[in-house]
Amino acid sequence: MSSTAGQVIRCKAAIAWEAGRPLSIEEVEVAPPQANEVRVKILFTSLCHTDVYFWEAKGQNPLFPRIYGHEAAGIVESVGEGVADLAPGDKVLPVFTGECKECAHCKSAESNMCSLLRINTDRGVMLSDGQSRFTAKGQPIYHFLGTSTFSEYSVMHVGSVAKINPSAPLDKVCVLSCGISTGLGATLNVAKPPKGSSVAVFGLGAVGLAAAEGARISGASRIIGVDVNTKRFEEAKKFGCTEFVNPKDHNKPVQEVIAEMTDGGVDRSVECTGNIDAMISAFECVHDGWGVAVLVGVPTKDAVFKTHPVNLLNERTLKGTFFGNYKPRSGLPSVVEKYMNKELEVEKFITHEVAFSDINKAFDYMLKGEGLRCIIRMEG
C-alpha cells in the first residue's frame, strides 16, 4: 500500500464557489476511501461541455461549492475495504457513470445503464454514507458526477473506475473517458454501419467527430457532416467526413436535402447536438427499409420528438444510446486498446494543453468555441 493510504491527503483542487465565476485553486483535504471506494491521483484531465454546462448553473439543481471534472486519467493511490480488482499503482480512467456488475443492467449483454451508478448530476456526495470526501476552508465541497477530477486526488466508487493498459499514455487516453467514447460507441456499437455504407453525422463538435471517426473505422464510403457552423467542415475531413451540409444553406428541410443526395436517404445517421429539430431530421433522413438513426445529444427537458408514424412503419429504426453503449469497467478498456493498436487516432481531438494553474484558460477556449479538447496537466 502507498505511504498515504488511510490518511487524509492535502492537495490542490480547482473549486467552483459559485456559478459562472472562475475556478479557484485551493488547498483541499481529501479523506481516505471508504468501503468500495478508490482514491485516485489525477495526472491529466480535460474539460467537457458538461462541466461548463453545470458550472454555468444551467443544470437541474446547482450545487456549490463544487469540484468539477470527469474526463481524466490517473493512478490508484489507495483502495477501500472490499475493493478486489484494483490496487495502488493501477492506471485508470474515471467514468461519470458506472458498472456495479451486480444489477440487472450490468448483467445484461445489451445494457450499460447501471442501476446503482447511472449518471446523477444532482448528487454531490458519496453513495456509501452521503458525505463528501473533500473539505476546504473548514467546509465540505460537493463532488461532481462521482469523479471530481479537477483535484490532484479524488475519491470515487470502484464501479466508476476503469483499469486500463499500463502502457497507455495517460496524457492522450484521458480524453476517452467521456465524449469521444460516447460518439465512437454510438457508431460502432449502436448504429453499426456496414462497410461501404453512407452515414450522416449531425453536429461536428468533439462527440460528433468521434461518431464520424467510428464511421471511418467501420469503412463507411460516404460520411456526411451536418452542422450550421461551416468553420467546422475543414477540420471534420480529418475524421473521415467526405461531404458537408449546412441546413442554413437550403430552403427545404435538411432531411430532404440528404435524401436527394443519397437516392432516398443514408444507411445510418448519428445525432450529436441535442437539438430536437436535428434529432427529427436525423431520423427522417435515413433510408426506408433499413435505415437506422441513433440519438446521442441530450435535449432540453421540454423538447418533444414528433414524426409521422409511417416513418417507423416504413422500417426505419430509431435508437438512443448512453455513453456509446460501453460498460465502463469491462468495455472502456477496449477503446484504449483501439488507440494502442493505432485503430483510433486520439491526438487529433487534442487541440490545447494548459497547466492546472491555468485551468480557467480551458474554460475560455470552450466558451469561445476554440478547439476540441484541452488537456489540463495536474503537475508541472
Please tell me the distance from the alpha carbon of residue 95 to that of residue 83, in angstroms, as a whole number: 17
**What pLDDT does residue 118 have?**
94
Catalytic residue among 66, 133, 174, 178: 178
Tell me if residue 71 is catalytic.
yes
Catalytic residue among 45, 77, 97, 114: 114
Q: Across the chain, what does the average pLDDT equal?
A: 96
DSSP string, 342-379: TSS--GGGEEEEEEGGGHHHHHHHHHTT--SEEEEES-
Catalytic residue among 45, 50, 97, 182: 50
How confident is the model over 224-241, as pLDDT tens digits?
999 999 999 999 999 999
Question: Taking the CA atoms of the chain, what radius of gyration do you get in angstroms?
Answer: 21
Tell me if residue 49 is catalytic.
yes
Residues in the chain: 380
Tell me if residue 48 is catalytic.
yes
**What pLDDT does residue 272 have?**
97
According to CATH, the topology of domain 9-175+346-377 is Quinone Oxidoreductase; Chain A, domain 1 (3.90.180)
Torsion of CA 200, 204, 207, 211, to 10 degrees: 30
User: Over 80: is that where the pLDDT of 60 sits?
Assistant: no
**What pLDDT does residue 380 have?**
54
Tell me if residue 174 is catalytic.
no
pLDDT band at 350 (very low <50, low <70, confident <90, very high): very high
Q: What is the grid cell recorded at 250?
A: 437550403
Whole-angstrom CA distances from 115 to 56, 86, 119, 310 are 28, 22, 10, 34
Catalytic residue among 37, 39, 71, 316: 71
Tell me if residue 11 is catalytic.
no
How confident is the model over 258-301, as pLDDT tens digits?
999 999 999 999 999 999 999 999 999 999 999 999 999 989 88
Query: Taking the CB of residue 361, how many other CB atoms lie within 10 A of it?
Result: 16
Please tell me the distance from the alpha carbon of residue 226 to that of residue 197, in angstroms, as a whole number: 17
Residues of the chain with CATH 3.40.50.720: 182-322
Catalytic residue among 70, 216, 287, 316: 70
Tell me if residue 373 is catalytic.
yes
Considering only 2-6, 13-17, 82-86, 111-115, which range has the smallest mean pLDDT?
2-6
**What pLDDT does residue 58 have?**
78
Catalytic residue among 103, 121, 123, 345: 103
Whole-angstrom CA distances from 268 to 60, 65, 119, 300 are 32, 43, 27, 24
Q: How far apart are the first and last CA of the chain?
A: 25
Catalytic residue among 26, 118, 135, 377: 118
Residues 6+ apart with CB under 8 A from 253: 281, 284
As a CATH number, domain 182-322 is 3.40.50.720
How confident is the model over 142-162, as pLDDT tens digits?
999 999 999 999 999 999 999
DSSP string, 156-171: EEGGGEEE--TTS-HH
